[in-house]
Structure 1
């Protein structure tokens, strides 16, 4: 266990000079690759076939000799070596926890933790919360799901490490959540942006707006939220609290989080070595350019991953933050999922960019769907000619539709067909919202 290191920083690694951080990463990478080679049949078999040995690594760039590994590789290995796969590196006696993917695109996939991994995980979550101003005098209500989902227990362990009074509430019982916030003086909450907005809407309809509650800090994750300026503003206005973006995945918990400066999530670079690569050539891109985030564990024991292609497109900034942290940041959070990117007449478009425009348009309530159907598809080629937006509005729907279509054309350079529906029409989510709906799916 660590922290707090200073009044603003939980761990000393947050303020290391970049040269010291790189030296630490290289030392840890060499040790980690040796561990993985000895303990993981999955990686040892692959590396032997390549003629690669961990001792070959002399500098961080040498890691690029290894191929990327993605979800498809992991799923195939699980099918060949059920139920845990051959990538697991910890003996059964050392395994303490397992969490699973949602299983929306394949069978649920397991990721394991040892006691060391769990301790590291909790400390990283504590570091994130501490950087946002959470202290042991806070009352934290965890609104992430606890059923199978990885976020709830991770946040619980981290905030407990700081010493808060913790309410493990989960993501159901909307009215009870609101009542609990007011009755017990909750000062900090965490959950998905969708659930934060759902709670705010429900509270306003009941005449108890959450901006009148004691909550002053909100950490969101699981989907684009605080990284989208208009969505962050929407949440902050309805809650009367600062909203911080958090980013993680099942395989890497957590990856990055915003500090009180709200200037982009700080990468946990002493936990994972991060590469930002061109999605097609897999060559490094410079800071400021969007690229695929690829991560390598530096000390994970149970389910270590080497050059894991997250599927997320990010932009990295390695300059120091005004908070004093030297860890690289991800301005704007996750730009989008590489496999969610839409190509509209040659324009690469991520749903998060559409969300920014929708939430910034007066009269649009913020809830929307991107509908891909015949109205925006070339019948000869099947390529998209535009996007259709189904948007909740208040007031003059025709005016909002015109203004939104104009804004999409002006800011995203694509055509938009806009359908407006009354507020409360579209489905809400208490977990992760699905924003893109294809024509072969049933829509409201």
Structure 2
């Protein structure tokens, strides 16, 4: 494969779009949106039918604010589309001959979703990711140890590799499924400056370095870490743990199979992930209960909805991700002009305890406050159907080595009190020894275990 010819715009941002004025960004976005909707009408049986059924006229959309007249696209609709017309669904908008790559989701909520890509779509995904990873501190000429899974067609595999090569980064595609020993020995031998993976796995990897290599992870040469794939990578306690173990900066990114792998990235300010690509994605913030569009001002929270721009094989219009975020800012000292978010969980993962909404990641954050008395590892054992319960949540927490007897009783009581104070939710804490809970490998950590 030939080396990339795309060059970063400056030492601080990958693309000029990231620092454009709001007016210029809106102009680029609206032009691309009109073109994309015209393409969708002409080429997508799925959307022609969907718009007709809802009596919505996409030709009336001239700006991003007009998108509210169009219906949302739900994940279940895409599954039904795939079943109706295999292999890539009724929403395939190109000929089979134009498809050069097919990616798959993890299938954690059912059968995997398959996403087709044309050659231009692959380049678009790489451009989206380059902007985010450049903000994370990745630079052309660096080497990258690949800590996401490389198997099963997941977007954390080949698309990340393509993204790195597009940026001029040397990817070492070992993959998380190779295991901690293999990854750590490659890190010790090759000493790549960059590391990417899920936050829980990368923390676990660092903790194993003294056991496997006889040296701390902080001595292995990592400079910049990008974490994603599960909520929590931007939480202060999680970040501090990863940075302390590796002796490197740790910044969060966010993406998804249906839209483009990686398209949000945190800069050196570490105060939320930037919306880097208004020319390639329209992002809406909605109230997950009412569907009402919200203005993404600091402190606002809701669910992210996307309309893909310049997409060919599998275009999406107003796709509901169920990613629940809080807006952390509208500008930034780094100079980027896109608003910033922190992902706190998925709206379909949210639990309701005696009428109070709570995200598992919020409980995880509170448990991490009790380091070093706890390891920070926890799971919610859900002994109820659905997402709602009238009983206290059963939370299993690992205590650290050396925490015994009355110290354990005090730790349980302290965690229960902290959760009650912060979230107004009652939990019943069960303490277990360190390393009792299964550690992740190449899969995402599920904080809720169904009994």
The reply to whether residue 280 of structure 1 matches residue 289 of structure 2 is: yes
Residue in 2 that maps onto 1:163: 168
Q: 1:132 to 1:304 in 2, by over 3 A?
A: same
Deviations 1:14-60 (A, max 9, x none): 11101111111111110000001111000011212334333212332
SS in structure 2 at match of 1:334: strand
The reply to whether residue 314 of structure 1 matches residue 320 of structure 2 is: no
Residue in 2 that maps onto 1:229: 236
Deviations 1:43-97 (A, max 9, x none): 0112123343332123322211111111111112222222221101111111111
Distance (whole Å) between structure 1 residues aligned to residue 109 and residue 141 of structure 2: 42
Task: Give the root-mean-square deviation of aligned CA atoms.
Answer: 1.8
The reply to whether residue 38 of structure 1 matches residue 42 of structure 2 is: yes
Residue in 1 that maps onto 2:440: 429
Distance (whole Å) between structure 1 residues aligned to residue 128 and residue 63 of structure 2: 26
Which of 12, 26, 49 is the matching residue for 2:16? 12
Distance (whole Å) between structure 2 residues aligned to residue 434 and residue 222 of structure 1: 11
| Mapping 1:254-269, distance limit 5 Å | 254-267=262-275, 268-269=277-278
Per-residue deviation, 1:214: 0.5
SS in structure 2 at match of 1:339: coil
Q: What number of residue pairs does the alignment pair up?
A: 432
Deviates more, 1:203-212 or 1:33-42: 203-212
Per-residue deviation, 1:346: 1.9
Q: 1:16 to 1:2 in 2, by over 3 A?
A: farther
Q: Give the conservation status (yes or no) of the 8 Å contact 1:231–1:355.
A: no
| Mapping 1:203-352, distance limit 5 Å | 203-206=209-212, 207-253=214-260, 254-267=262-275, 268-286=277-295, 287=297, 288-317=299-328, 319-330=330-341, 333-352=342-361
Residue in 1 that maps onto 2:368: 359
Q: Give the conservation status (yes or no) of the 8 Å contact 2:129–2:263.
A: no
Unaligned 5+ residue runs, structure 1?
A: none
The reply to whether residue 108 of structure 1 matches residue 112 of structure 2 is: yes
Distance (whole Å) between structure 1 residues aligned to residue 447 and residue 326 of structure 2: 22
Scaled by the length of structure 2, the TM-score of the pair is: 0.92
Q: Give the conservation status (yes or no) of the 8 Å contact 1:2–1:10.
A: no
Q: Give the conservation status (yes or no) of the 8 Å contact 2:253–2:273.
A: yes
Unaligned 5+ residue runs, structure 2?
A: none
Per-residue deviation, 1:382: 7.0
Scaled by the length of structure 1, the TM-score of the pair is: 0.93
SS in structure 2 at match of 1:151: coil
Deviates more, 1:289-298 or 1:207-216: 207-216
Residue in 2 that maps onto 1:96: 100
Per-residue deviation, 1:280: 1.5
